């Protein structure tokens, strides 16, 4: 059986990590590639009063259950299935339901702080850092939080000023030095996506998995 591959995609909030990950899935096929979102591994704040959850720093490494994430990654790379938590961003807690992740050849782990933990970093075969201008990232984050997470504008701005930007400068930006490839423009960078696809195909051949098929007219969007 082919050895499984772990791709890490880091970068600031709103940089375009998810689009890069989705383009990799599109290029290689969802039957072989699955995305794992670090945000799903936020610590469960069920036992903390609601008013206190809102002021927690969700951009610090301690906000994540890294022990569970690393255990799940190890199990997936060993060919075992896991039950990934589903996180409710509006209530800041885990839902009773889980998402089953099973038999895939390539796992794409994306998140703002995945390069901070040395043990997690060491499991990755390819490390990508998605770069984008701070104003672009802020606008994307605001749109996402308004539409997908039910946040208010004042709350988004306050969180950005008090935790998102300071934590980006302290943890996210310095982790860029661990990347094998820095991708400006995120998923819109066709050259970078093609390079990543080629490298993954090489790893699949080396490890006994079928290489990615040629995609006629494929392009990043």
Q: What is the pLDDT of residue 126?
A: 97
Is residue 2 scored above 80 in pLDDT? no
Find out if CATH 3.30.70.260 is the number for domain 5-206. Answer: no
Q: Cβ distance 129 to 179 under 8 Å?
A: yes
The CB density around residue 1, as the number of other CB atoms within 10 Å, is 9
> Using an 8 Å Cβ cutoff, are 211 and 204 in contact?
yes
Averaged pLDDT score across all residues of the chain: 88
Mean local confidence (pLDDT), 20-43:
94
pLDDT of residue 211: 55
Strand, coil or helix: 78: coil
Q: Classify 145 as helix, strand or coil.
A: helix
Going from N- to C-terminal start, the domains of the chain cover 5-206
Is residue 1 very low, low, confident or very high in pLDDT (cuts 50, 70, 90)? low
Are 59 and 164 contacting, i.e. CB atoms less than 8 angstroms apart?
Answer: yes
Over residues 138-192, the pLDDT tens digits come to: 898 888 888 877 788 888 888 889 999 999 999 999 999 999 999 997 778 889 9
- In this prediction the pTM is 0.87
pLDDT in tens, 96-108: 999 999 889 999 9
- Report the percentage of the chain scoring pLDDT > 90: 61
Higher-pLDDT residue of 175, 52: 175
Residue range 57-80: mean pLDDT, rounded: 95
Q: For residue 169, what pLDDT is reported?
A: 96
194-218 tens-digit pLDDT: 999 999 999 999 887 655 544 433 3
Cα 65 to Cα 4, 39, 44, 59: the distances in Å are 23, 10, 8, 13
For residue 142, how far is the Cα from the chain centroid?
18
Strand ranges inside the chain, DSSP E: 5-11, 33-37, 82-88, 93-101, 106-110, 126-131, 181-184
């Amino acid at each position: 059986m082919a050895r499984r591959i772990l791709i890490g995609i880091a970068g600031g909030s709103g940089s375009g990590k998810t689009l890069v990950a989705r383009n990799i899935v599109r290029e290689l096929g969802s039957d072989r590639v699955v995305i794992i979102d670090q945000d799903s591994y936020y610590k469960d704040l069920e036992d903390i009063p609601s008013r206190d959850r809102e002021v927690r720093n969700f951009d610090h490494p301690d906000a994540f259950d890294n022990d569970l994430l690393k255990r799940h990654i190890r199990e997936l790379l060993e060919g075992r299935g896991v039950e990934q938590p589903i996180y409710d961003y509006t209530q800041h807690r885990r839902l009773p339901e889980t998402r089953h992740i099973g038999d895939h050849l390539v796992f794409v782990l994306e998140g703002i702080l995945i390069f901070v933990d040395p043990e997690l970093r060491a499991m990755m075969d390819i490390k990508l850092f998605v770069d984008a201008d701070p104003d672009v990232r802020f606008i994307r984050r605001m749109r996402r939080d308004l539409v997908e997470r039910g946040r208010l504008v004042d709350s988004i701005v306050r969180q950005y000023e008090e935790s998102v930007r300071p934590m980006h400068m302290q943890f996210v930006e310095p982790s860029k030095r661990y990347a094998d490839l820095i991708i400006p423009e995120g998923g819109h960078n066709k050259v970078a996506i093609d390079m990543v696809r080629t490298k993954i195909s090489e790893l699949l051949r080396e490890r006994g998995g079928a290489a990615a098929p040629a995609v006629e007219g494929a392009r990043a969007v």
